[in-house]
Amino acid sequence: MPRQNHKKPHLRRTFLGYQIYHYGAVSSTNDIAKEIARKNDEKRVIVVAETQTRGRGRAKRRWTSPKGGTWISILLRPQIKPKEVLKLTFITSSAATKTIQQLYDLRAEAKWPNDVLVRGKKICGILAETETKGDKLLFVVIGVGINSNIDMKFLPEELRQTATSLKHELGREVERKTLMKRFVRNFERRYKNLQRGMWAPLLDEWKSLTSFLGKQVKVTSFDEVIIGEAWDVEDDCSLIIRLENGAIKRIINGDLALIKKA
């Protein structure tokens, strides 16, 4: 394990019942949160870092995490089944989307399964990781990366075509503490409703924050490429694609891209 993971946090405080650990540079806030989960029985923890040297997204893709971004991980021990964890990704996506809309009046939107976009470019990514014992979920760590005060010139060239930041969109820096507090409040409200069994309205809200439903999309799922109309997202968070021949395809995991009209 990278040595920087053993540094003590710069600051520890509480907010809405969460223990907040604030670090400088770490390998990954998800790694720190999982380390905390394994060492003690804390149920509600948020890990914040100024930079990540090994930030990651789905499929172990690298997530570039320079200073100025908002890099956090939420540790939870929910009473749900492992197969329901994607619901946590969706409510996190909704919370991030609504936060950006509320604070900055930007047209943020959720994209299946774990991104938030502004003007079609990625501004936030979410990665939920779990630890289980048999069929029991021991804990979930939800990593959230928001490109807040990032100067786009410091991102790799290939990312500048597909990513954006709040600073770039607004032409100014944002107050990251305000951003994080609003996001946590928005997340906590949805998490409580999820625990109360209110998944149906939460899913409906997430759908209302998307723009890809009803449009032609291309989904890469493992070694398969599926093209068709994004028909719906089901209760288990799977994507339903209507193919050109009228057949219905159900996709559990994959990368979605809109097909632009010629």
pLDDT tens by residue, 121-146? 999 999 999 999 998 999 999 999 99
Q: Provide the pLDDT for residue 1.
A: 36
**Do 19 and 45 sit in the same domain of this protein?**
yes
Of 190, 208, 226, the position where a domain reaches its end is 208
Task: Quickly state the pLDDT bin for 85 (edges 50, 70, 90).
Answer: very high
Q: Provide the pLDDT for residue 236.
A: 97
Average pLDDT over residues 242-253: 95
**Do 44 and 22 sit in the same domain of this protein?**
yes
**Do 110 and 224 sit in the same domain of this protein?**
no
Task: Quickly state the pLDDT bin for 222 (edges 50, 70, 90).
Answer: confident
Average pLDDT over residues 61-83: 88
pLDDT of 65 > 70? The answer is yes
**Do 149 and 238 sit in the same domain of this protein?**
no
Considering Cα of 76, then 82, then 84, then 85, what sign does the dihedral take?
Answer: positive
- Domain range for residue 253? 216-258
The count of structural domains within the chain is 2
pLDDT of 106 > 50? The answer is yes
**Do 53 and 155 sit in the same domain of this protein?**
yes
Q: Can you give the CATH number for the domain in which 231 is found? A: 2.30.30.100
Taking a C-beta distance cutoff of 8 angstroms, is the pair 110, 179 a contact? no
pLDDT of 237 > 90? The answer is yes
**Do 246 and 171 sit in the same domain of this protein?**
no
pLDDT tens by residue, 178-189? 999 999 999 999
Span of 12-16, 66-70, 111-115, 121-125 with lowest mean pLDDT: 12-16
Q: Provide the pLDDT for residue 159.
A: 83
H-state helical runs in 117-261: 157-160, 166-170, 176-195, 199-208
Q: Provide the pLDDT for residue 4.
A: 43
Q: Is 241 helix (H, G, I), strand (E, B) or coil?
A: strand
Q: Provide the pLDDT for residue 35.
A: 95
**Do 135 and 175 sit in the same domain of this protein?**
yes
**Do 27 and 119 sit in the same domain of this protein?**
yes
**Do 168 and 222 sit in the same domain of this protein?**
no
Q: Can you give the CATH number for the domain in which 142 is found? A: 3.30.930.10
DSSP codes joined into one string, 172-191? S---HHHHHHHHHHHHHHHH
- Record the tokens describing residue 42, joined without a space: 């804390």
Of 187, 208, 229, the position where a domain reaches its end is 208
* Higher local confidence (pLDDT), 3 or 19: 19
H-state helical runs in the chain: 29-39, 85-104, 157-160, 166-170, 176-195, 199-208
Taking a C-beta distance cutoff of 8 angstroms, is the pair 2, 28 a contact? no
**Do 43 and 79 sit in the same domain of this protein?**
yes
What percent of the chain has a predicted confidence (pLDDT) above 90?
A: 80
Task: Quickly state the pLDDT bin for 155 (edges 50, 70, 90).
Answer: confident
Q: Provide the pLDDT for residue 184.
A: 98
Q: What's the whole-model pTM score?
A: 0.92
**Do 164 and 109 sit in the same domain of this protein?**
yes
Nearest alpha carbon to residue 144 among 108, 175, 184, 193: 184
Which amino acid would we find at residue 25?
Answer: A
Beta strands in the chain (DSSP E): 11-15, 18-26, 44-52, 70-76, 108-111, 115-118, 121-133, 136-146, 216-221, 224-233, 239-242, 248-251, 255-258
**Do 83 and 204 sit in the same domain of this protein?**
yes
